[in-house]
Structure 1
Protein backbone atom coordinates (compact mmCIF):
# COMPACT_ATOMS: atom_id res chain seq x y z
CA UNK A 1 0.00 0.00 0.00
CA UNK A 2 1.63 3.27 -1.08
CA UNK A 3 2.47 5.75 1.68
CA UNK A 4 1.95 9.47 1.27
CA UNK A 5 4.82 11.20 -0.50
CA UNK A 6 4.56 14.13 1.92
CA UNK A 7 7.67 13.77 4.06
CA UNK A 8 6.36 16.32 6.55
CA UNK A 9 3.68 14.01 7.87
CA UNK A 10 4.40 11.46 10.57
CA UNK A 11 5.62 7.99 9.71
CA UNK A 12 3.28 5.05 10.11
CA UNK A 13 5.09 3.81 13.20
CA UNK A 14 4.67 7.18 14.91
CA UNK A 15 1.02 7.35 13.94
CA UNK A 16 0.44 3.85 15.31
CA UNK A 17 2.04 4.76 18.62
CA UNK A 18 -0.11 7.88 18.87
CA UNK A 19 -3.24 5.98 17.86
CA UNK A 20 -2.64 3.42 20.63
CA UNK A 21 -2.69 6.38 23.01
CA UNK A 22 -6.08 7.44 21.67
CA UNK A 23 -5.01 10.29 19.41
CA UNK A 24 -7.85 11.37 17.11
CA UNK A 25 -5.37 13.46 15.11
CA UNK A 26 -3.31 10.34 14.35
CA UNK A 27 -6.47 8.53 13.32
CA UNK A 28 -7.41 11.36 10.97
CA UNK A 29 -3.96 11.29 9.34
CA UNK A 30 -4.15 7.52 8.88
CA UNK A 31 -7.63 7.85 7.38
CA UNK A 32 -6.55 10.50 4.87
CA UNK A 33 -3.39 8.57 3.99
CA UNK A 34 -5.04 5.22 3.25
CA UNK A 35 -8.75 5.75 2.58
CA UNK A 36 -8.65 6.37 -1.19
CA UNK A 37 -6.27 3.50 -1.95
CA UNK A 38 -8.28 1.09 0.18
CA UNK A 39 -11.48 2.13 -1.59
CA UNK A 40 -9.89 1.45 -4.97
CA UNK A 41 -8.62 -1.89 -3.75
CA UNK A 42 -12.06 -2.86 -2.45
CA UNK A 43 -13.83 -1.66 -5.60
CA UNK A 44 -11.60 -3.84 -7.78
CA UNK A 45 -13.34 -6.87 -6.25
CA UNK A 46 -16.95 -5.85 -5.70
CA UNK A 47 -17.41 -3.27 -8.48
CA UNK A 48 -19.74 -1.13 -6.38
CA UNK A 49 -18.28 2.26 -5.43
CA UNK A 50 -20.79 3.05 -2.68
CA UNK A 51 -20.43 -0.37 -1.07
CA UNK A 52 -16.62 -0.20 -1.35
CA UNK A 53 -16.68 3.08 0.57
CA UNK A 54 -19.00 1.59 3.18
CA UNK A 55 -16.77 -1.43 3.71
CA UNK A 56 -13.64 0.70 4.02
CA UNK A 57 -15.42 3.02 6.44
CA UNK A 58 -16.29 -0.05 8.52
CA UNK A 59 -12.59 -0.87 8.63
CA UNK A 60 -11.73 2.54 10.02
CA UNK A 61 -14.52 2.30 12.58
CA UNK A 62 -13.04 -1.01 13.74
CA UNK A 63 -9.56 0.53 13.74
CA UNK A 64 -10.71 3.28 16.08
CA UNK A 65 -12.56 0.81 18.30
CA UNK A 66 -9.43 -1.35 18.57
CA UNK A 67 -6.98 1.51 19.04
CA UNK A 68 -6.09 0.52 22.61
CA UNK A 69 -5.75 -3.21 21.88
CA UNK A 70 -3.98 -3.31 18.50
CA UNK A 71 -0.98 -5.27 19.73
CA UNK A 72 2.29 -5.32 17.79
CA UNK A 73 1.16 -4.04 14.41
CA UNK A 74 4.32 -3.30 12.42
CA UNK A 75 2.88 -2.75 8.92
CA UNK A 76 -0.05 -0.35 8.98
CA UNK A 77 -0.83 -0.63 5.27
CA UNK A 78 -0.78 -4.41 5.44
CA UNK A 79 -2.90 -4.44 8.58
CA UNK A 80 -5.58 -2.24 7.00
CA UNK A 81 -5.50 -4.27 3.78
CA UNK A 82 -6.14 -7.49 5.68
CA UNK A 83 -9.08 -5.82 7.42
CA UNK A 84 -10.49 -4.78 4.04
CA UNK A 85 -10.02 -8.31 2.69
CA UNK A 86 -12.07 -9.63 5.59
CA UNK A 87 -14.81 -7.09 4.86
CA UNK A 88 -14.83 -8.12 1.19
CA UNK A 89 -15.02 -11.81 2.05
CA UNK A 90 -17.90 -11.23 4.49
CA UNK A 91 -19.76 -9.07 1.98
CA UNK A 92 -19.44 -11.61 -0.83
CA UNK A 93 -20.42 -14.47 1.46
CA UNK A 94 -23.52 -12.57 2.63
CA UNK A 95 -24.43 -11.60 -0.92
CA UNK A 96 -24.21 -15.15 -2.21
CA UNK A 97 -26.27 -16.42 0.71
CA UNK A 98 -29.00 -13.85 0.07
CA UNK A 99 -29.07 -14.24 -3.73
CA UNK A 100 -28.84 -17.98 -4.22
CA UNK A 101 -31.60 -18.03 -6.86
CA UNK A 102 -31.01 -14.58 -8.30
CA UNK A 103 -29.76 -14.26 -11.92
CA UNK A 104 -28.05 -11.00 -10.96
CA UNK A 105 -24.27 -11.23 -11.20
CA UNK A 106 -22.25 -9.34 -8.63
CA UNK A 107 -19.55 -9.04 -11.32
CA UNK A 108 -16.85 -10.71 -9.31
CA UNK A 109 -14.18 -12.58 -11.21
CA UNK A 110 -14.80 -16.29 -11.80
CA UNK A 111 -11.89 -17.55 -9.73
CA UNK A 112 -12.24 -17.11 -6.00
CA UNK A 113 -11.78 -13.65 -4.54
CA UNK A 114 -9.34 -15.07 -2.01
CA UNK A 115 -7.12 -16.41 -4.79
CA UNK A 116 -7.09 -13.10 -6.64
CA UNK A 117 -6.29 -11.15 -3.50
CA UNK A 118 -3.45 -13.51 -2.67
CA UNK A 119 -2.19 -13.27 -6.23
CA UNK A 120 -2.07 -9.49 -6.07
CA UNK A 121 -0.42 -9.64 -2.68
CA UNK A 122 2.22 -11.97 -4.09
CA UNK A 123 2.98 -9.67 -7.00
CA UNK A 124 3.30 -6.66 -4.70
CA UNK A 125 5.50 -8.52 -2.22
CA UNK A 126 7.67 -9.94 -5.02
CA UNK A 127 8.32 -6.44 -6.35
CA UNK A 128 9.25 -5.20 -2.88
CA UNK A 129 11.41 -8.26 -2.20
CA UNK A 130 13.33 -7.94 -5.48
CA UNK A 131 14.06 -4.31 -4.66
CA UNK A 132 15.73 -5.44 -1.42
CA UNK A 133 18.22 -7.73 -3.18
CA UNK A 134 21.82 -6.54 -3.57
CA UNK A 135 22.18 -5.02 -7.08
CA UNK A 136 24.32 -7.81 -8.55
CA UNK A 137 22.06 -10.50 -7.07
CA UNK A 138 19.01 -8.76 -8.47
CA UNK A 139 20.57 -8.45 -11.92
CA UNK A 140 21.59 -12.11 -12.11
CA UNK A 141 18.27 -13.31 -10.74
CA UNK A 142 16.14 -11.25 -13.13
CA UNK A 143 18.23 -12.26 -16.15
CA UNK A 144 17.75 -15.90 -15.17
CA UNK A 145 14.09 -15.94 -14.15
CA UNK A 146 12.57 -13.16 -16.22
CA UNK A 147 14.84 -13.02 -19.28
CA UNK A 148 15.28 -16.83 -19.40
CA UNK A 149 19.03 -16.49 -19.95
CA UNK A 150 21.31 -19.42 -19.18
CA UNK A 151 24.01 -19.11 -16.53
CA UNK A 152 26.64 -19.00 -19.27
CA UNK A 153 24.83 -16.15 -21.01
CA UNK A 154 24.47 -14.29 -17.73
CA UNK A 155 28.17 -14.81 -17.00
CA UNK A 156 29.05 -13.19 -20.32
CA UNK A 157 26.58 -10.36 -19.73
CA UNK A 158 27.86 -9.62 -16.22
CA UNK A 159 31.51 -10.44 -17.03
CA UNK A 160 31.84 -12.96 -14.22
CA UNK A 161 32.29 -16.72 -13.99
CA UNK A 162 29.43 -19.22 -14.22
CA UNK A 163 30.05 -20.16 -10.61
CA UNK A 164 29.79 -16.50 -9.72
CA UNK A 165 26.36 -16.40 -11.40
CA UNK A 166 25.30 -19.52 -9.51
CA UNK A 167 26.38 -17.95 -6.24
CA UNK A 168 24.45 -14.74 -6.93
CA UNK A 169 21.27 -16.60 -7.89
CA UNK A 170 21.63 -18.92 -4.91
CA UNK A 171 21.92 -15.96 -2.56
CA UNK A 172 18.90 -14.32 -4.20
CA UNK A 173 16.80 -17.46 -3.76
CA UNK A 174 17.79 -17.73 -0.11
CA UNK A 175 16.72 -14.16 0.57
CA UNK A 176 13.50 -14.42 -1.46
CA UNK A 177 12.44 -17.64 0.25
CA UNK A 178 12.48 -15.74 3.53
CA UNK A 179 10.69 -12.69 2.14
CA UNK A 180 8.02 -14.75 0.32
CA UNK A 181 7.69 -17.62 2.79
CA UNK A 182 3.97 -17.01 3.39
CA UNK A 183 3.23 -17.56 -0.31
CA UNK A 184 5.20 -20.76 -0.81
CA UNK A 185 3.13 -23.97 -0.99
CA UNK A 186 3.60 -26.38 1.89
CA UNK A 187 3.27 -30.15 1.84
CA UNK A 188 0.50 -29.87 4.41
CA UNK A 189 -1.64 -27.48 2.41
CA UNK A 190 -0.98 -28.62 -1.15
CA UNK A 191 -3.12 -31.74 -0.82
CA UNK A 192 -6.05 -29.90 0.72
CA UNK A 193 -6.28 -26.59 -1.09
CA UNK A 194 -6.60 -25.79 -4.81
CA UNK A 195 -3.43 -24.50 -6.45
CA UNK A 196 -3.55 -20.72 -6.56
CA UNK A 197 -3.28 -19.24 -10.01
CA UNK A 198 -0.03 -17.49 -9.25
CA UNK A 199 1.86 -20.60 -8.12
CA UNK A 200 3.21 -21.03 -11.64
CA UNK A 201 5.17 -17.84 -11.07
CA UNK A 202 6.39 -19.10 -7.69
CA UNK A 203 7.61 -22.37 -9.21
CA UNK A 204 9.41 -20.50 -11.98
CA UNK A 205 11.18 -18.30 -9.47
CA UNK A 206 12.19 -21.03 -7.07
CA UNK A 207 13.06 -23.74 -9.57
CA UNK A 208 16.32 -25.55 -8.92
Structure 2
Protein backbone atom coordinates (compact mmCIF):
# COMPACT_ATOMS: atom_id res chain seq x y z
CA UNK A 1 0.00 0.00 0.00
CA UNK A 2 1.11 3.55 -0.65
CA UNK A 3 2.96 5.07 2.34
CA UNK A 4 1.54 8.52 1.68
CA UNK A 5 -1.99 7.15 1.76
CA UNK A 6 -1.22 5.30 4.99
CA UNK A 7 -0.12 8.54 6.62
CA UNK A 8 -3.14 10.44 5.31
CA UNK A 9 -5.35 7.73 6.78
CA UNK A 10 -3.73 8.55 10.12
CA UNK A 11 -4.71 12.21 9.43
CA UNK A 12 -1.08 13.32 9.16
CA UNK A 13 -1.61 16.91 8.03
CA UNK A 14 2.06 17.47 7.17
CA UNK A 15 2.12 14.57 4.70
CA UNK A 16 -1.16 15.74 3.19
CA UNK A 17 0.12 19.32 2.87
CA UNK A 18 3.29 18.06 1.14
CA UNK A 19 1.17 16.01 -1.27
CA UNK A 20 -1.03 19.02 -1.95
CA UNK A 21 1.88 21.44 -2.37
CA UNK A 22 3.77 19.18 -4.76
CA UNK A 23 0.80 18.30 -7.00
CA UNK A 24 -1.72 21.16 -6.83
CA UNK A 25 -0.30 23.50 -9.49
CA UNK A 26 0.57 20.80 -12.06
CA UNK A 27 -2.91 19.29 -11.63
CA UNK A 28 -4.56 22.68 -12.11
CA UNK A 29 -2.61 23.16 -15.35
CA UNK A 30 -3.57 19.66 -16.43
CA UNK A 31 -7.26 20.30 -15.66
CA UNK A 32 -7.11 23.62 -17.45
CA UNK A 33 -6.01 21.76 -20.58
CA UNK A 34 -9.46 20.19 -20.60
CA UNK A 35 -11.57 23.03 -19.26
CA UNK A 36 -9.80 26.18 -20.47
CA UNK A 37 -11.11 27.80 -17.29
CA UNK A 38 -8.59 28.32 -14.51
CA UNK A 39 -11.13 28.88 -11.72
CA UNK A 40 -13.06 25.70 -12.51
CA UNK A 41 -9.76 23.83 -12.79
CA UNK A 42 -8.72 25.07 -9.35
CA UNK A 43 -12.10 24.08 -7.88
CA UNK A 44 -11.91 20.58 -9.31
CA UNK A 45 -8.38 19.97 -8.03
CA UNK A 46 -9.23 21.36 -4.57
CA UNK A 47 -12.28 19.08 -4.42
CA UNK A 48 -10.11 16.10 -5.32
CA UNK A 49 -7.78 16.80 -2.41
CA UNK A 50 -10.75 17.30 -0.07
CA UNK A 51 -12.13 13.97 -1.24
CA UNK A 52 -8.80 12.24 -0.60
CA UNK A 53 -8.58 13.70 2.91
CA UNK A 54 -12.17 12.80 3.78
CA UNK A 55 -12.20 9.34 2.18
CA UNK A 56 -8.64 8.13 2.75
CA UNK A 57 -9.91 5.16 4.79
CA UNK A 58 -11.93 3.80 1.88
CA UNK A 59 -9.59 4.59 -1.01
CA UNK A 60 -8.01 1.66 -2.80
CA UNK A 61 -5.28 3.09 -4.99
CA UNK A 62 -3.79 0.42 -7.24
CA UNK A 63 -1.43 2.75 -9.11
CA UNK A 64 0.84 5.45 -7.77
CA UNK A 65 -0.82 8.31 -5.92
CA UNK A 66 0.38 10.63 -8.70
CA UNK A 67 -1.25 8.45 -11.35
CA UNK A 68 -4.41 8.32 -9.26
CA UNK A 69 -4.49 12.12 -8.93
CA UNK A 70 -4.10 12.65 -12.69
CA UNK A 71 -6.70 10.03 -13.55
CA UNK A 72 -9.15 11.48 -11.05
CA UNK A 73 -8.52 15.00 -12.38
CA UNK A 74 -9.13 13.90 -15.96
CA UNK A 75 -12.34 12.09 -15.04
CA UNK A 76 -13.64 15.04 -12.98
CA UNK A 77 -12.92 17.40 -15.87
CA UNK A 78 -14.73 15.21 -18.38
CA UNK A 79 -17.69 14.86 -15.99
CA UNK A 80 -17.74 18.63 -15.54
CA UNK A 81 -17.76 19.17 -19.30
CA UNK A 82 -20.64 16.71 -19.65
CA UNK A 83 -22.55 18.54 -16.91
CA UNK A 84 -22.31 21.82 -18.83
CA UNK A 85 -23.14 19.98 -22.04
CA UNK A 86 -19.88 20.56 -23.93
CA UNK A 87 -19.63 17.95 -26.65
CA UNK A 88 -16.46 16.70 -28.19
CA UNK A 89 -17.51 14.65 -31.20
CA UNK A 90 -14.15 15.13 -32.90
CA UNK A 91 -12.36 14.38 -29.61
CA UNK A 92 -10.44 17.65 -29.66
CA UNK A 93 -10.37 17.76 -25.87
CA UNK A 94 -8.77 14.35 -25.66
CA UNK A 95 -6.50 14.58 -28.68
CA UNK A 96 -3.79 16.33 -26.66
CA UNK A 97 -3.21 13.28 -24.46
CA UNK A 98 -3.31 10.89 -27.41
CA UNK A 99 -0.98 13.11 -29.37
CA UNK A 100 1.50 13.36 -26.57
CA UNK A 101 1.48 9.65 -25.77
CA UNK A 102 1.48 8.39 -29.38
CA UNK A 103 3.41 10.92 -31.42
CA UNK A 104 5.86 12.48 -28.99
CA UNK A 105 8.42 10.83 -26.75
CA UNK A 106 6.77 9.68 -23.52
CA UNK A 107 9.48 11.41 -21.53
CA UNK A 108 7.72 14.75 -22.02
CA UNK A 109 7.30 16.23 -18.55
CA UNK A 110 3.94 17.16 -17.07
CA UNK A 111 5.06 20.79 -17.14
CA UNK A 112 5.74 20.55 -20.88
CA UNK A 113 2.37 18.90 -21.45
CA UNK A 114 0.67 21.71 -19.52
CA UNK A 115 2.49 24.26 -21.67
CA UNK A 116 1.27 22.43 -24.77
CA UNK A 117 -2.32 22.60 -23.52
CA UNK A 118 -2.06 26.33 -22.94
CA UNK A 119 -0.48 26.79 -26.35
CA UNK A 120 -3.42 24.96 -27.94
CA UNK A 121 -5.66 27.82 -26.83
CA UNK A 122 -3.32 30.32 -28.42
CA UNK A 123 -3.13 28.21 -31.58
CA UNK A 124 -6.90 28.34 -31.98
CA UNK A 125 -6.61 32.14 -31.97
CA UNK A 126 -4.19 31.92 -34.91
CA UNK A 127 -6.58 29.96 -37.13
CA UNK A 128 -8.27 31.80 -39.99
CA UNK A 129 -11.25 33.80 -38.75
CA UNK A 130 -13.94 31.56 -40.26
CA UNK A 131 -12.24 28.43 -38.92
CA UNK A 132 -12.05 30.00 -35.44
CA UNK A 133 -15.76 30.79 -35.56
CA UNK A 134 -16.60 27.23 -36.56
CA UNK A 135 -14.40 25.69 -33.83
CA UNK A 136 -15.85 28.00 -31.19
CA UNK A 137 -19.46 27.44 -32.26
CA UNK A 138 -18.95 23.67 -32.23
CA UNK A 139 -16.99 23.23 -29.03
CA UNK A 140 -17.81 26.25 -26.91
CA UNK A 141 -21.44 26.77 -27.86
CA UNK A 142 -22.37 23.16 -28.63
CA UNK A 143 -23.82 23.96 -32.06
CA UNK A 144 -24.67 21.11 -34.40
CA UNK A 145 -23.13 21.03 -37.88
CA UNK A 146 -26.40 22.18 -39.41
CA UNK A 147 -26.70 25.07 -36.94
CA UNK A 148 -23.17 26.24 -37.70
CA UNK A 149 -23.84 25.99 -41.43
CA UNK A 150 -27.02 28.03 -41.07
CA UNK A 151 -25.41 30.63 -38.78
CA UNK A 152 -22.45 31.20 -41.10
CA UNK A 153 -24.37 30.62 -44.35
CA UNK A 154 -22.12 27.76 -45.48
CA UNK A 155 -22.65 24.08 -46.25
CA UNK A 156 -22.49 21.30 -43.66
CA UNK A 157 -19.61 19.76 -45.62
CA UNK A 158 -17.69 23.03 -45.29
CA UNK A 159 -18.24 22.92 -41.53
CA UNK A 160 -16.93 19.35 -41.33
CA UNK A 161 -13.96 20.14 -43.57
CA UNK A 162 -13.04 23.24 -41.58
CA UNK A 163 -13.21 21.30 -38.29
CA UNK A 164 -10.96 18.57 -39.70
CA UNK A 165 -8.48 21.14 -40.99
CA UNK A 166 -8.51 22.94 -37.64
CA UNK A 167 -7.75 19.69 -35.85
CA UNK A 168 -4.85 18.93 -38.20
CA UNK A 169 -3.39 22.43 -37.76
CA UNK A 170 -3.69 22.26 -33.98
CA UNK A 171 -2.03 18.83 -33.87
CA UNK A 172 0.84 19.96 -36.12
CA UNK A 173 1.51 23.06 -34.03
CA UNK A 174 1.28 21.23 -30.70
CA UNK A 175 3.75 18.61 -31.93
CA UNK A 176 6.10 21.41 -33.02
CA UNK A 177 5.86 23.06 -29.61
CA UNK A 178 6.55 19.78 -27.78
CA UNK A 179 9.54 19.02 -29.99
CA UNK A 180 10.95 22.49 -29.35
CA UNK A 181 10.44 22.03 -25.62
CA UNK A 182 12.36 18.76 -25.71
CA UNK A 183 15.20 20.29 -27.76
CA UNK A 184 15.67 23.17 -25.34
CA UNK A 185 15.61 21.10 -22.15
- Alignment TM-score, normalising by the size of structure 1: 0.44
Q: Flag the structure with more relative contact order, 1 or 2, with Cα contacts below 8 A and sequence separation at least 6.
A: 2
Larger Rg: 1
Query: If each structure's helix is expressed as a fraction of its own residues, which one has the higher value?
Result: 2
